[in-house]
């Protein structure tokens, strides 16, 4: 059977490594990685072909405190790197993680998958139904690296050892995943959408061939025509492995989605500049600047301090924003295994003070366009020794959809 909440378009099997600075320091010594090389990496964005390339990328992200998603040209590099660490197998992909969070609150969904294996069958809970375009089982794991705030790794340098310190907790994703790169659509998608009340679109960021992308977008547009007129389409952005492909997706989905969601990294990628996330006026200006690049009338942004929406009738998403930050905070605190009790306990926690100041200031700003509204909710103030940083954006989306469903 299928459910009214259809989430897609691709899921993954994730190898989550347990953070171990000692292993990274050993690998840095073995590969003779230098501080100068790490400092240059994020600017250069060099291809990742070997275990050494992957190591340099991880250390560069660590030093910046930023999260990211990168394509690895060789799956062997992912497996070789992961083999040095303790590893936990989980399920990923925006739709799947959103659905897992919703399932914890007893809210069912239908997943559109592009690959399947025994890990997926074993780890999907009974609340999640699925359709899949794959004709046979396959396994192409994604490497997930999470680091806590204050994580430190020492590496060699021309003047002696240099210490890399993470200013913020974050997560990194490395993958070489042919099924998600092709993102073939199931023949059953149109039938699933015929009775849907909400459809989450995500996953195009993994595609790399323009011809395949155009073909897939053609197929998706046909499937979207099966949706009831009142159904809500939510497009969740992501870090594109080939950045130029983003504009092709957005041009085809323009006018098809009601909400375009993104995180703080994706917002700043669109802008091409960093912004002060606690300056309401600057954020409002930034959102105005990206309006020409988005696919929907309502733009929804989620950050570590707040979540906000801007656009016509944006205030109707206030409860959904609050559901998103609550769900994400529950995962940040407690990891997998969201339950109604854990969710309710998060709701009682203190909010981020500066996030609350931002939310008040942002909502009070005059609209820049006629008929436009601004709304924001603060995130929670969380002091967690070993937080879960992977899947927070996906879990936020699950909280948004759960609130909308309720």
CATH number at residue 128: 3.40.1190.20
pLDDT in tens, the chain (406 residues): 578 999 999 999 999 999 999 999 999 999 999 888 888 886 777 899 999 999 999 999 998 888 888 889 888 888 899 999 999 999 999 999 999 999 999 999 999 999 999 999 999 999 999 999 999 999 888 999 989 889 999 987 656 678 899 988 888 999 889 999 999 999 999 999 999 999 999 999 989 899 999 999 999 999 999 999 999 999 999 888 788 899 999 999 998 999 999 999 899 988 989 999 999 999 999 999 998 889 999 999 999 999 999 999 999 999 999 999 999 999 999 998 899 999 999 999 999 999 999 999 999 999 888 889 999 999 999 988 888 888 899 999 999 999 999 8
For residue 298, the surrounding DSSP H or E stretch is strand 298-302
Distance between CA 242 and CA 349 in Å, rounded?
40
Same domain, residue pair 101 and 79: no
Q: Helix, strand or coil for residue 195?
A: coil
Residue 116 burial (10 A CB sphere; 0-12, 13-18, 19+) = buried
Distances in whole angstroms, Cα of residue 340 to Cα of each of 101, 331, 347, 384, 402: 10, 12, 11, 20, 12
Other beta carbons within 10 Å of 66: 18
Domain endpoint, select from 153, 175, 197? 175
Same domain, residue pair 336 and 400: yes
Alpha helices in 254-339 (DSSP H): 264-271, 280-290, 318-334
Same domain, residue pair 270 and 165: no
Is the separation of the CB atoms in 283 and 345 below 8 Å? Answer: no
Same domain, residue pair 65 and 199: no
Number of structural domains, the chain? 2
Of 163, 155, 180, which Cα lies nearest the Cα of 72? Answer: 180
Distance between CA 195 and CA 4 in Å, rounded?
6
For residue 112, the surrounding DSSP H or E stretch is strand 109-113
pTM for this structure? Answer: 0.87
pLDDT given at position 42: 67
Q: Which domain holds residue 355?
A: 5-12+93-137+178-405
Is the separation of the CB atoms in 149 and 141 below 8 Å? Answer: no
Same domain, residue pair 42 and 111: no
Count of CA atoms in the C-beta half-sphere (13 A) of 227: 23
Same domain, residue pair 29 and 104: no
**DSSP-derived secondary structure for 271-289:** HTS---TT-HHHHHHHHHH
pLDDT given at position 159: 61
Same domain, residue pair 259 and 273: yes
Is the separation of the CB atoms in 387 and 170 below 8 Å? Answer: no
Tokens of 402: 């759960």
Please report, for the domain that includes residue 64, its CATH number: 3.30.1110.20
pLDDT given at position 368: 85
Same domain, residue pair 165 and 248: no
Tokens of 213: 């992308």
Distance between CA 42 and CA 45 in Å, rounded?
5
Same domain, residue pair 340 and 284: yes
pLDDT given at position 87: 93
The dihedral built from the CA positions of residue 129, 131, 134 and 135, taken in this order, carries a sign that is: positive
Distance between CA 109 and CA 211 in Å, rounded?
31
Same domain, residue pair 207 and 263: yes
Alpha helices in 45-188 (DSSP H): 51-64, 75-82, 94-104, 118-123, 178-182
Same domain, residue pair 66 and 112: no
Distance between CA 303 and CA 170 in Å, rounded?
12
Same domain, residue pair 220 and 261: yes
pLDDT given at position 199: 98
Of 269, 359, 267, which Cα lies nearest the Cα of 308? Answer: 359
Of 164, 160, 183, which Cα lies nearest the Cα of 57? Answer: 164
Is the separation of the CB atoms in 51 and 80 below 8 Å? Answer: yes
Distance between CA 143 and CA 181 in Å, rounded?
16
pLDDT given at position 157: 67
Name beta bridge partners: 200.
7, 234
């Amino acid at each position: 059977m299928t459910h009214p909440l259809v989430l897609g378009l691709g899921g993954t099997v994730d190898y989550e490594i347990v953070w171990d600075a000692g292993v990274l320091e050993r690998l840095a010594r073995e590969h003779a990685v230098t501080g100068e090389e790490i400092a240059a990496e994020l600017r250069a964005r060099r291809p990742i072909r070997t275990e050494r390339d992957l190591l340099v990328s991880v250390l560069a992200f660590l030093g910046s405190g930023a999260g990211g998603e990168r394509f690895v040209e060789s799956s062997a590099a992912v497996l070789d790197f992961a083999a040095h660490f303790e590893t936990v197998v989980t399920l990923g992909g925006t739709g799947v993680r959103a659905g897992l969070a919703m399932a914890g609150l007893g809210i069912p969904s239908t997943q559109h998958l592009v690959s399947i294996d025994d890990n997926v069958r074993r780890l999907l809970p009974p609340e999640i139904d699925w359709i899949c375009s794959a004709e046979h089982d396959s396994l192409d794991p994604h490497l997930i690296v999470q680091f806590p705030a204050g994580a430190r790794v020492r590496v060699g340098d021309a003047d002696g050892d240099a210490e890399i310190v993470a200013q913020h907790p974050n997560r990194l994703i490395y993958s070489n995943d042919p099924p998600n790169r092709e993102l073939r659509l199931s023949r059953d998608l149109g039938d699933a959408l015929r009775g849907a009340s909400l459809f989450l679109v995500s996953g195009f960021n993994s595609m790399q061939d323009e011809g395949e992308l155009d073909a897939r977008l053609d197929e998706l547009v046909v499937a979207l025509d099966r949706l009831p007129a009142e159904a809500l389409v939510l497009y969740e952005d992501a870090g594109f492995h080939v950045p130029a492909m983003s504009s092709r997706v957005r041009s085809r989905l323009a006018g098809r989605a009601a909400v375009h969601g993104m995180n703080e990294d994706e917002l700043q990628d669109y802008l091409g500049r960093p912004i002060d996330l606690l300056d309401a006026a600057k954020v409002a200006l930034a959102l105005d600047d990206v309006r020409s690049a988005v696919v929907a009338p309502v733009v929804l942004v989620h950050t570590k301090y707040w979540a906000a929406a801007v656009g016509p009738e944006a205030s109707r998403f206030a409860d959904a924003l609050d559901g998103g930050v609550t769900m994400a905070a529950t995962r940040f605190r407690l990891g997998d295994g969201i339950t109604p009790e854990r969710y309710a306990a998060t709701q009682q926690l203190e909010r981020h003070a500066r996030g609350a100041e931002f939310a008040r200031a942002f909502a009070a700003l005059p609209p820049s366009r006629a008929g436009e509204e601004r709304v924001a909710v603060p995130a929670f103030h969380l002091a967690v020794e070993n937080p879960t940083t992977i899947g927070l954006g996906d879990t936020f989306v699950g909280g948004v959809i759960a609130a909308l469903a309720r």
